[in-house]
Structure 1
Amino acid sequence: MTAKDLRNPLKVARGLGSSQSGVGHWWTQRVTAAALVVLLIWFVITVLGLLHADYATALATVAKPWNALLLIVLLVTMFWHAVLGLQVVIEDYVHTRWKEVLSLVLIKFLAVLGALASVLAVLRIALTH
């Protein structure tokens, strides 16, 4: 008896299955997590360097091109990773279809809104300072 014989006959007839759609989600979540580790180390080092600095120095640090770019990448990656994680939780534990869809749409909307507001704030500092 092979693994192919253990499949549901209806699944075989329809050609349905996982089609590995979850693998991309899983990999994206792991890649964003690894990126967050590196970016958060940079962020903590940067913030510790500004520990006793004044407001003008903090603005000047954020306004530097590399710092602004890395901060934007950190923010976008953080929101993206959060959406991926919350999506898995909702798909696993919300069993009413309309509540699941509403929750997913709401989370994605709030994440895009938060990411855009964050990026706009960094760009405003970087371009006006």
Structure 2
Amino acid sequence: MDFRPPLAKALGLGSAKTGTSHWWMQRVTAVALVPLSFPLLTLLNLCFNEPYRDTVAWLATPFNTVCIVAWLLAVFYHAALGLQVVIEDYVANEGAKIAAVWAVNLAFLFLALAALLAVLRIILVG
């Protein structure tokens, strides 16, 4: 049963049907970050307490590299989704809202690429 008035039906007003996937991806990345944070904590502990070579050797193992790369991808995507929601909720001007969302997405894409390249450089160069 559709409770929209006839004019709203004719104009196509209503849900854009994209909020559910956005909400769902925020929850999925939040849950994924919980187990992926344990290897990150191990890496941070090694960075502060072990020699550089031991830290690089730990990071160079395939499992640890995949965990850190997965954490990086999940955390930057999760942060971009969260900031997009904040912008959509609190920026009134539609043009500024669109520009801000694009800027946030591009900034987080750039930061994610920089972080991934840093990990790869540490692994390959040592």
Structures share fold, TM-score greater than 0.5: yes
Q: Is the 8 A contact 1:65 1:126 kept in 2?
A: no
User: What is the deviation of 1:26?
Assistant: 0.5
Aligned-pair CA distance for 1:20: 2.6
**Residue 65 of structure 1: how far off its partner (Å):** 1.5
Q: Which of residues 60, 70, 73 is equivalent to 1:63?
A: 60
CA–CA separation in structure 2 for the residues paired with 1:88 and 1:69: 29
Q: Is structure 2 residue 98 aligned with structure 1 residue 107?
A: no
Identity of aligned residues (%): 40
State the SS of the aligned residue for 1:16: coil
Paired residue type of 1:13: A
Provide runs of 4+ in structure 1 moved above 4 Å: none
2:22 matched to which residue of 1? 25
Give the letter for the 2:98 counterpart: V
C-alpha RMSD over aligned residues: 1.8
Unpaired stretches in structure 1, ≥5 consecutive residues: none
1:105 maps to amino acid: W
Q: Tell me which residue corresponds to 2:81.
A: 84
Residue 121 of structure 1 corresponds to which residue in structure 2?
118
Where relative contact order (Cα < 8 A, 6+ residues apart) is larger, the structure is: 1
User: How far apart are residue 51 of structure 1 and its match?
Assistant: 4.7
Unmatched tracts of structure 2, length 5 or more:
none
User: Could you tell me the TM-score, scaled by structure 1's length?
Assistant: 0.87
1:63-117 deviation line (CA, Å, top 9, x unaligned): 2111111111111111100000000110111011221112111111110110000
Q: Is the 8 A contact 2:33 2:71 kept in 1?
A: yes
- In the alignment, is the contact (CA less than 8 A) between 1:36 and 1:77 conserved in 2? yes
Partner Cα distance (1:116, 1:46) in 2: 19
Give the TM-score normalised by structure 2: 0.88
Task: Return the alpha-carbon distance in structure 2 between the equivalents of residues 121 and 25 of structure 1.
Answer: 29
CA shift digits 1:31-83 (9 cap, x unpaired):
00101111112322443356521111111111211111111111111110000
**Are the aligned partners of 1:90 and 1:104 in contact in 2 as well (CA < 8 Å)?**
yes
